Structure 1
Amino acid sequence: MKRLIIGLLLLLVPMSATAAEIIKKMTVRGNAKVESEAILTILQTQVGKGLSSAVVRDDILSLYDLGYFSDVRFYKDKVSGGVEVIIEVKEKPSVVEIVYIGMDELGEDDFKEKMETELFTIVDEGAITNDVRMIEKAYLEKGFYLAKASFKLVPVPDNPQQVKLEIIVDEGGKVLVGDVHILGNEYFSDSELINQFFSQPYTRSSTFSAPGSVYNDDFLKRDTEFMAYLYKDQGFAEVKVAKPVTVMDSDREFVRITFEVEEGIQYSIGSIDFAGDLLYEKDELRDWMQLKDGDLFRFSLFRKDIEMLIDRYGDKGYAFADVNPKPRFDREKKLVHLVYDIDKGEKVYFGEFTFVGNTKTRDNVIRRELEVTDGELYSGTRLNLSKRNIERLGFFEEVQTIKKRDPEKANVLNYKFRVKEKPTGQLQAALGFSPSSDSDENRFFGQGRYSEENQSGYGWKTSFTGRWNGGNNYSLELGFRNPRVNDSYWSFGVNGFTRNEVRLLTSDGVQVQESRNGVSVSVGRRIIELIRAAIAVKFTKITQDSDVFILRNFDQDGQSHSVVLSLSRNDTNNYIDPSEGSSVRLSQEITGGLLGGDRNYYETLFDGAYYFPIDFTDTYRTYFKFHSLFGFLWPMGDEQIPLFERYVLGGPENLRGYDYRSVGQKFTIIRAPGGFPSEVAYGGNKQALFQLEYFFPVIQQANIKGLLFYDTGRVYSEDEPVEFKDFSSDVGFGFRWITPVAPFRFEWAYPIVDGDLGDLEFIFYLGY
Structure 2
Amino acid sequence: MNPAALTLLASAMACLPSWAVDPFTVRDIRVEGLQRIEPGTVFASLPFRVGDQYTDDKGASGIRALFALGLFKDVRLETQGDVLVVVVEERPSVAAVEFIGLKEFDKDVLSKALKEVGLAEGRPYDKALADKAEQELKRQYISRSLYAAEVVTTATPIDRNRVNLTFTITEGGPAKIAKIELVGNKTFSTDTLRDQFNLDTGGWMSWYTKSNRYSRTKLNGDLEALRSYYLSRGFLEFRIESTQVAMSPDKQEMAITINVTEGERFVVSGVKLEGNYLDKEDEFKSLVKIVSGQPYNAETVAETTKAFTDYFGKFGFAFARVDAKPIIDRQNNRVQFVLQAEPSRRAYVRRILVAGNNRTRDEVIRREFRQLESAWYDGDKINLSRDRVNRLGYFTDVNVDTQEISGAPDQVDLLFSVTEKPTGSISLGAGFSSTEKIALTFGIQQENAFGSGNYLALQVNTSKYNRNYVVSTTDPYFTQNGISRSFDLFHRTTRPYLGDLNSYSLVNSGLGLRFGVPITETDRVFVGANLEQTQIVAGTNLPTEYANYALKFGSKSTAIPLTLGWAHDARDSALVPTKGSLQSFTADVSVAGDVRYARTNYKYQQYIPLSKKYTFAFNTDLGWGQGLNGQDYPLFKNFYVGGLGSVRGFEQSTLGPKSSTTGIYLGGPKKVVFNAEFITPFPGAGNDKTLRMFAFTDVGKAFGQDEKVSFGELRASAGIGLSWISPMGPLRFSYGVPIRQQTGDRIQKLQFQIGTSF
If the length of structure 2 is used for normalisation, what is the TM-score?
0.74
- Counterpart-to-counterpart distance in 1, 2:599 and 2:413: 54
- Counterpart-to-counterpart distance in 2, 1:92 and 1:404: 48
CA contact (8 A) 2:560 2:593 kept: yes
Tell me what 1:382 maps to.
381
1:491 maps to 2:488: no
Tell me what 2:589 maps to.
591
Structure 2 residue corresponding to 1:685, chosen from 658, 670, 680: 670
Tell me what 1:325 maps to.
324
CA-to-partner distance for each residue in 1:31-66, whole Å, 9 max, x for gaps? 99799799999xxx999xxxxxxxx9xx99xx99x9
Tell me what 1:174 maps to.
174
Secondary structure class of the residue paired with 1:391: helix
Report the alpha carbon displacement of residue 291 of structure 1 after superposing the two structures with TM.
Answer: 0.5
1:234 maps to 2:233: yes
Secondary structure class of the residue paired with 1:185: coil
CA contact (8 A) 2:424 2:448 kept: yes
CA contact (8 A) 1:704 1:737 kept: no
User: Mapping of 1:50-69 within 5 angstroms?
Assistant: none
CA contact (8 A) 1:706 1:735 kept: yes
CA contact (8 A) 2:478 2:485 kept: yes
CA contact (8 A) 1:198 1:211 kept: no
Structure 2 residue corresponding to 1:530, chosen from 522, 530, 542: 522
Tell me what 1:7 maps to.
none
Tell me what 2:448 maps to.
454
- Counterpart-to-counterpart distance in 2, 1:418 and 1:445: 38
In structure 1, give the amino acid aligned to 2:287. W
Report the alpha carbon displacement of residue 328 of structure 1 after superposing the two structures with TM.
Answer: 1.3
- Counterpart-to-counterpart distance in 1, 2:328 and 2:254: 39
- Counterpart-to-counterpart distance in 2, 1:35 and 1:493: 61
1:185 maps to 2:185: yes
CA contact (8 A) 2:650 2:748 kept: no
Gap change, CA 1:640 and 1:224, over 3 Å in 2: same
1:715 maps to 2:713: no
Tell me what 1:753 maps to.
738
Tell me what 2:315 maps to.
316
User: Mapping of 1:234-253 within 5 angstroms?
Assistant: 234-248=233-247, 253=252
Secondary structure class of the residue paired with 1:647: coil
Secondary structure class of the residue paired with 1:288: coil
Tell me what 1:279 maps to.
278
Report the alpha carbon displacement of residue 560 of structure 1 after superposing the two structures with TM.
Answer: 2.5
Gap change, CA 1:682 and 1:232, over 3 Å in 2: closer
Gap change, CA 1:300 and 1:764, over 3 Å in 2: closer
Gap change, CA 1:574 and 1:736, over 3 Å in 2: closer
Secondary structure class of the residue paired with 1:516: strand
Report the alpha carbon displacement of residue 307 of structure 1 after superposing the two structures with TM.
Answer: 2.0
User: Mapping of 1:128-167 within 5 angstroms?
Assistant: 135-136=137-138, 138-147=140-149
Secondary structure class of the residue paired with 1:631: strand
Q: Between Structure 1 and Structure 2, whose CA radius of gyration is higher?
A: 2
Report the alpha carbon displacement of residue 524 of structure 1 after superposing the two structures with TM.
Answer: 1.9
Tell me what 1:20 maps to.
none
Report the alpha carbon displacement of residue 231 of structure 1 after superposing the two structures with TM.
Answer: 1.5
Tell me what 1:10 maps to.
none
Gap change, CA 1:502 and 1:528, over 3 Å in 2: closer
Percent identity, aligned pairs only?
19
Report the alpha carbon displacement of residue 652 of structure 1 after superposing the two structures with TM.
Answer: 5.4
Bigger mean CA offset, 688-697 vs 309-318: 688-697
Report the alpha carbon displacement of residue 648 of structure 1 after superposing the two structures with TM.
Answer: 1.7
Structure 1 residue corresponding to 2:716, chosen from 702, 727, 745: 727
CA contact (8 A) 2:356 2:417 kept: yes
CA contact (8 A) 1:358 1:419 kept: no
Tell me what 1:605 maps to.
602
CA-to-partner distance for each residue in 1:504-552, whole Å, 9 max, x for gaps? 79x9999544332322211222122232112011222233354768344
- Counterpart-to-counterpart distance in 1, 2:675 and 2:506: 29
Report the alpha carbon displacement of residue 290 of structure 1 after superposing the two structures with TM.
Answer: 0.8
Secondary structure class of the residue paired with 1:212: coil
1:664 maps to 2:663: no
Secondary structure class of the residue paired with 1:293: coil
Report the alpha carbon displacement of residue 237 of structure 1 after superposing the two structures with TM.
Answer: 0.6
CA contact (8 A) 2:348 2:374 kept: no
User: Mapping of 1:67-146 within 5 angstroms?
Assistant: 96-100=95-99, 105-113=104-112, 116-117=115-116, 118-120=120-122, 135-136=137-138, 138-146=140-148
CA contact (8 A) 1:559 1:599 kept: no
Gap change, CA 1:501 and 1:296, over 3 Å in 2: same
Structure 1 residue corresponding to 2:462, chosen from 453, 464, 468: 468
Tell me what 2:395 maps to.
396
Secondary structure class of the residue paired with 1:378: coil
- Counterpart-to-counterpart distance in 2, 1:125 and 1:525: 65
In structure 2, give the amino acid aligned to 1:351. R
Secondary structure class of the residue paired with 2:455: strand
In structure 1, give the amino acid aligned to 2:587. E
Tell me what 2:493 maps to.
500
- Any stretches of 5+ residues in structure 1 without a counterpart? 1-13, 15-27, 48-55, 76-86, 437-441, 617-621, 672-676
- Counterpart-to-counterpart distance in 2, 1:276 and 1:30: 76
Secondary structure class of the residue paired with 1:205: coil
Structure 2 residue corresponding to 1:543, chosen from 531, 535, 544: 535
CA contact (8 A) 1:145 1:174 kept: yes
Gap change, CA 1:758 and 1:156, over 3 Å in 2: farther
Gap change, CA 1:428 and 1:711, over 3 Å in 2: farther
CA contact (8 A) 1:145 1:215 kept: no
- Counterpart-to-counterpart distance in 2, 1:140 and 1:362: 41
Report the alpha carbon displacement of residue 480 of structure 1 after superposing the two structures with TM.
Answer: 1.8
Bigger mean CA offset, 219-228 vs 558-567: 219-228
If the length of structure 1 is used for normalisation, what is the TM-score?
0.73
Bigger mean CA offset, 224-233 vs 714-723: 714-723
CA-to-partner distance for each residue in 1:306-327, whole Å, 9 max, x for gaps? 2222322333333333333321
Gap change, CA 1:252 and 1:460, over 3 Å in 2: closer
Gap change, CA 1:744 and 1:307, over 3 Å in 2: closer
Gap change, CA 1:341 and 1:114, over 3 Å in 2: farther
CA-to-partner distance for each residue in 1:227-263, whole Å, 9 max, x for gaps? 3332221111112332145555566543444444332
CA contact (8 A) 2:737 2:749 kept: no
CA contact (8 A) 1:625 1:692 kept: yes
CA contact (8 A) 2:648 2:749 kept: no
